[in-house]
Structure 1
Amino acid sequence: MSFKAIVLEKDENHGFTCSIKTVPQQQLLAQQGDTLIEVHYSSINYKDALALTNKSPVVRQWPMIPGIDGVGCVIESANGHYQKGDMVILNGWGCGETHWGCLGQYAYLKSQWLIPLPQNITPYQSMVLGTAGYTAALCVKRLLDFGIKPQNGAILVTGASGGVGSVAVALLSKLGYSVTASTSKMDDQDYLRKLGATNIIDSQPLKQTGKPLQKEQWAAVVDVVGSHTLANACAQTQYGGIVACCGLAQGIDLPATVAPFILRGVTLAGVDSVMATYQNRLAAWQLLSQHLDASMLSHIGKTITLNDCNDIATKMIAGQIKGRYVVDVNKCI
């Protein structure tokens, strides 16, 4: 048996190709795994976009089927942790980097990478959320666990028009927080207000070099941008507040001083989604399933096919998209 998938390849001259191919299932089963999944949907994340466009050395094994996210039905599992017919979600774990991912009709994965699909989230909705939504939930959970309450003040979400930012805005709003959305796409104000943003600011000032300490504005921050944006967010956070950092859209650098941390007691909390524990993954997905307004997901998500992935990836790298793109892997030419 064979199946359709996006395959990334490099030849002996390091020439890069991204194409839809028919892949023999025995080639898939040569990967290290114990659970065969029939994939229903995947999604396009920033890391997928980097891999699909070869803009960054994300892929470390060739050839590669990209796709860090997937939801599907278990066909067979060698260790008995899952049974045939179980619906499961994959987020991260190096898939699409060192292990074949889910931008194909089948995936062969390790059972410890998977979590059960929450009962009140549909397979499609789980990929509207995907790693972006799950990462947003991890960030929001850090704020909740830290003790930040709605009455403490406004929450800043940077990169608010993107996948992580969109879900963070919607989730925080549903939990009763006043959310300020920072975006470079000021044309997206209607989109962000529908998600629940109470205030929208242009991200450009945050991207510039700022003073070590600035006016205290935010009880907490969810930052996906990094670089000067993260430094300014820390400098603007209220005494005793927290900044959850999970991205580097502006850059991997952090041109900051220790002033916010030693003079205002600000906490900078790193949030990793790739290698998060099973318990943290379950908690994040439970937060989404219990509190996120399902009607918002149709506002955030758009459906594409395998044929559309490269074009969307190129636009994502250029900062030209908003929301989330769900890939119906079973619809392709």
Structure 2
Amino acid sequence: MRAFVAEKTEDGVTRGLREDFELDGEGDVVVDVEYSSVNYKDGLATIAKGQVARISPLVPGIDLAGVTADGRAVLAHGYDLGVSHHGGYAEQARVPSQWLVPLPEGLSARQAMALGTAGYTAARCVIALEAAGLKPGDGPVLVTGASGGVGSTAVDILAARGYEVVASSGKDPDWLRSLGAAEVISREEAAGDASRPMEKSRWAGAVDCVGGATLAGVVRSLQYGAAVTACGNTGGIKLDTTVLPFILRGVSLLGVDSVQTPIEARRETWARLATDLRPPHLDDTITREIALDELETALDAVLKGELQGRTIVKVG
């Protein structure tokens, strides 16, 4: 079958499209893949210093949507897909049945991958913030890394639910406003002044897709009792902050994982992504649709931070 494959060599990693790749690996269900998507983690899985790939050769692609042999429309992402288990960048995938999510009514395979791991993560962030008490009218909600897949979907979902969304990005502000952002600020403004243990109380809640100095700045600027969800580390894995915001303002730092979520919670989240958490501009977040033979360029671009919105891969 046709598959985009990354394989370790003595000199690093070779990657590219193969026309005769043999389907192997564990999994009791074979899925004819229709769509996948491009994620930062996919880019890391194809470079020598990425520290993501656990097998070689590897078919990357941490999410996929398609049809099983018995005609069920399904999607899958997370767990070991595209990391230590062949993923979505191939015409077929062999997947354990316990990883599969029925494609929700009202979502096509294409739309499911327009959401993909990124949209799912954004939804989990919104669910976590609302479980922590966030309500529309509480004040501005910040989304960092807002031009990326997770960030742009979070902006779309939050604005549709009535929140005043402030987006932090170094890219096109007009596009973010079209998704519902009330204001767009710079990355530097979101990160704030690192020399101060606390800053002006500003955010009623936040979705942080960046980590590092940006997340530290968000923590310093949260309102009393507010929470921030942490779901990305493109800005670094270190968090240089103090305990003062947690003690003096009672703020919360909520970790959001999209890889090992129990399958029932995963299926429930996808059902909500097709209903009350469905982004109203879902189709508009698809900024690019590519084929398997265009993946190499897209993976380089995502690692350089050059992609905006969602890039989906038409596989089948």
Give TM class, smaller chain. over 0.9
1:108 aligns with 2:94: yes
- Taking structure 1 as the reference length, the TM-score comes to 0.91
Report how far residue 210 of structure 1 moved: 4.4
Which of 8, 11, 32 in structure 2 is aligned with 1:10? 8
Amino acid at match of 1:288: L
Q: Which has the higher helix share?
A: 1
Secondary structure (helix, strand or coil) at the match of 2:112 reads helix
Q: Distance in 2 between matches of 1:61 and 1:115?
A: 24
Q: Which residue of structure 2 lines up, in the alignment, with residue 275 of structure 1?
A: 260
Report how far residue 198 of structure 1 moved: 0.5
Q: Which residue of structure 1 lines up, in the alignment, with residue 115 of structure 2?
A: 129
Q: Which residue of structure 1 lines up, in the alignment, with residue 67 of structure 2?
A: 73
- Asked if the contact 1:7/1:21 (under 8 Å) is kept, the reply is yes
Report how far residue 54 of structure 1 moved: 3.8
Identity fraction in percent: 43
User: Which stretch shows the higher mean deviation, 304-313 or 14-23?
Assistant: 14-23
- Asked if the contact 2:170/2:186 (under 8 Å) is kept, the reply is yes
Misfit runs of 4+, over 4 Å: 292-295
Q: Which residue of structure 2 lines up, in the alignment, with residue 251 of structure 1?
A: 236
- Asked if the contact 1:206/1:228 (under 8 Å) is kept, the reply is no
Matches within 5 A, 1:21-40: 21-24=18-21, 27-28=22-23, 30-40=24-34
Secondary structure (helix, strand or coil) at the match of 2:46 reads helix
Q: Distance in 2 between matches of 1:122 and 1:171?
A: 19
1:230-280 deviations in whole A, cap 9, x for unaligned?
A: 011011000000111000010011011111111110010000000001122
Which of 275, 295, 302 in structure 2 is aligned with 1:316? 302
1:202-231 deviations in whole A, cap 9, x for unaligned?
A: 012334624211111111110010011001
- Taking structure 2 as the reference length, the TM-score comes to 0.96
1:30-67 deviations in whole A, cap 9, x for unaligned?
A: 31111100000000011001123444121111000000
Matches within 5 A, 1:47-86: 47-75=41-69, 84-86=70-72
Secondary structure (helix, strand or coil) at the match of 1:17 reads strand
Aligned length: 314
Q: Distance in 2 between matches of 1:250 and 1:239?
A: 25
User: Which stretch shows the higher mean deviation, 274-283 or 231-240?
Assistant: 274-283
Which of 172, 176, 179 in structure 2 is aligned with 1:192? 176
Which of 256, 259, 265 in structure 1 is aligned with 2:250? 265
Report how far residue 295 of structure 1 moved: 5.2
- Asked if the contact 2:156/2:280 (under 8 Å) is kept, the reply is no
Secondary structure (helix, strand or coil) at the match of 2:82 reads coil
Report how far residue 14 of structure 1 moved: 4.1
Which of 37, 46, 49 in structure 2 is aligned with 1:43? 37
1:157 aligns with 2:143: yes
Report how far residue 144 of structure 1 moved: 1.4
Structure 2 CA distance for partners of 1:94 and 1:293, relative to 1, 3 Å: closer
Q: Which residue of structure 2 lines up, in the alignment, with residue 222 of structure 1?
A: 207
Q: Distance in 1 between matches of 2:11 and 2:93?
A: 26
- Asked if the contact 1:184/1:204 (under 8 Å) is kept, the reply is no
Structure 2 CA distance for partners of 1:294 and 1:255, relative to 1, 3 Å: closer
Alpha-carbon RMSD across the aligned residues, in angstroms, is: 1.4
- Asked if the contact 1:171/1:288 (under 8 Å) is kept, the reply is no
Report how far residue 99 of structure 1 moved: 0.6
Q: Distance in 2 between matches of 1:291 and 1:304?
A: 29
Q: Distance in 2 between matches of 1:243 and 1:283?
A: 22
Q: Structure 1 unaligned runs (5+)? A: 76-83
